[in-house]
Structures are given as C-alpha cells and as structure tokens.
Amino acid sequence: MSSGSGFVLVDKAGGWTSHDVVAKCRRILGMRRIGHAGTLDPRATGLLVLGIGRATRLLRFVTDLPKEYEATARFGVATDSLDADGEETERAPMSIDREDVVGAMDRFRGEILQTPPMVSAVKVGGKRLHELARRGEEVERPARRVRVHRLDLEGFSAGPFPEVRLRVVGGSGLYVRVLADDLARALGGRAHLSSLRRVASGSLRVEEAWTVDRLVRLGAEGRLAEAVLEPAVALSHLPSVSVDHDEAVRVSSGQRLPSPRDLDGHVRVIADGRLLAIYRAGDDRLVPEVVLA
C-alpha cells in the first residue's frame, strides 16, 4: 500500500479530530503523505476526504466543493463553542414556531457575512482562535463572506427550547454552528448545535465512505486497495480531456496543450482512464497546474 496514490473517503466518528483520523490512517495505510480536504470539528461526524500519496496535491480541488450537512440545533441555549461540548453561557426560552424559523431562513441563503467562532482554527494576528479561547481571551474577528447554497428546515420540535433540524449545503469557510446561532439571533435568542454530520463534499457521499474500524479490518485482510478511489473518479466534477500516447508524453513534461473551445476553468487530463494532470483552460491553450504523470 505504501506506493498507492488516490483518495480515501472516511466516515469520521464523533470524538475524533480530523488530525486523529489522518494519524490513524497513516498507520493503517503505511503512508506518511496523507492530508484531508476540510476539517470536521471533533464532535461532528461524517465525510472526511483524505488524499494519499501524490493525490495530496489534488486536495484543493475537493476542498472548495460545496459541502452538505445534517445539523440539529437547540434554540434558547448558547455555549461558548456553539456546540454541545462548550460551557453554557446563556439560557432563555424562545416562543417560536416552525413558521417563524422558515421565515427567518430566507436571509441566510446565498452570500452572507459570518463571523468565525472563537473556538476555531482561523488565525487572527498569527494565532489560532481556539488557542486564544483556551487562554480565556476573546478578540475581534473580521466577518467573512461565505455562501449558503441550500438551507432547509427538516424538523422542528416545539417547546421552550425548540429543537431544530437543518440541512445545509455551503461553500468553503462556512461554519454551520455559527449559522444556527445567527438564525436564532434573528428570532431574538441564541442556539448551539447538538449534532452535526457532513454527508457530502460535492458528489462524494458519506454512503461511500469507510469507518476507521472497517479500514483496520481491510488492512488485516490485505484488501486496502478497495478503499482507494482513483483520482480521475474522485475529481469527476471537473471536465476531462483524453490524450493519446504522444500527448501524454508532453503532459508528463508539463507542456501546454491545445484547448477545446468549450472548456473553462480546471480540466482533468486523462489517458487510458488514468489521471495524468490537472490543467487550466486558457484562451487557446491548456496550462498545467498539477502534473502527476
């Protein structure tokens, strides 16, 4: 397995950091070169996309894909981390119903401004916010523009502290726990997430992912190759160009290629079903960005 290269989809369990998963998979796969496409909070579960070997250079083409989440929020109760692991900071019953939540959601679709939480990996002044938070410090955080592609209400349990179930599809940098709290603020209260599960990154689904325990068993059975997704498949959201042998030689040396007129943005360059490189479509040329061949 040490010579493998590709993507592994992991269904992360709660209580693990994304770094924990990477460290465990390094031992399971017998590889040092492993990275991931988008951190999941320790309490969150679901899809973590790993790049292994040379495919780590391709992770940026997955990181920016829209991500889909299933979230459950408790309205009326705030915590310092905006999730259930944090210390409670505010509690006040909220007299709202399902229609109130649906009405408030409209303002949180599309491009919105969002302030990162103190318990996050965002850096301010060269320091990660979670490091400052552990020291009891709170600093000003500039709001950032993020995109909410989809926001649906999937369940509402009435009461003084309503439970609200959401489905969210968001772009890179979106914090679902901040989104839930901002939604509650718009209704005159506060909220925190009681659960969060990432179910997709682009077209990559958690249903296709492996638990860490299952990867351990595959390793014991000598079947780890079954868990590795070919780069050409993992990046199927990008258009592709097939090349012949002579063009493949040019690609391996990073040469430019003629560009078909209908292409724009990043393109997979493929020979015999294998991903050779990612090129960027220019005016009349394909320009190499990442060459694997």
Known catalytic membership, residue 41: yes
> If you ran DSSP here, which 8-state letter would residue 228 be given?
P
Tell which phi-psi region holds residue 100, choosing left (phi > 0), alpha (psi between -120 and 50) or beta: alpha
Report, in this order, helix, strand and coil percent for the chain, each rounded to 5.
25, 35, 35
Owner of token pair 């709001």: 143
**H/E run at residue 268:** strand 265-271
Among 11, 41, 83, 182, the one annotated catalytic: 41
Phi first, then psi: give them for residue 93, nearest 5 degrees: -55, 145
Within 13 Å of residue 140, how many CA atoms lie on the same side as its CB? 1
Helices (runs of H) and strands (runs of E) counted in the chain: 8, 18
Catalytic residues: 41
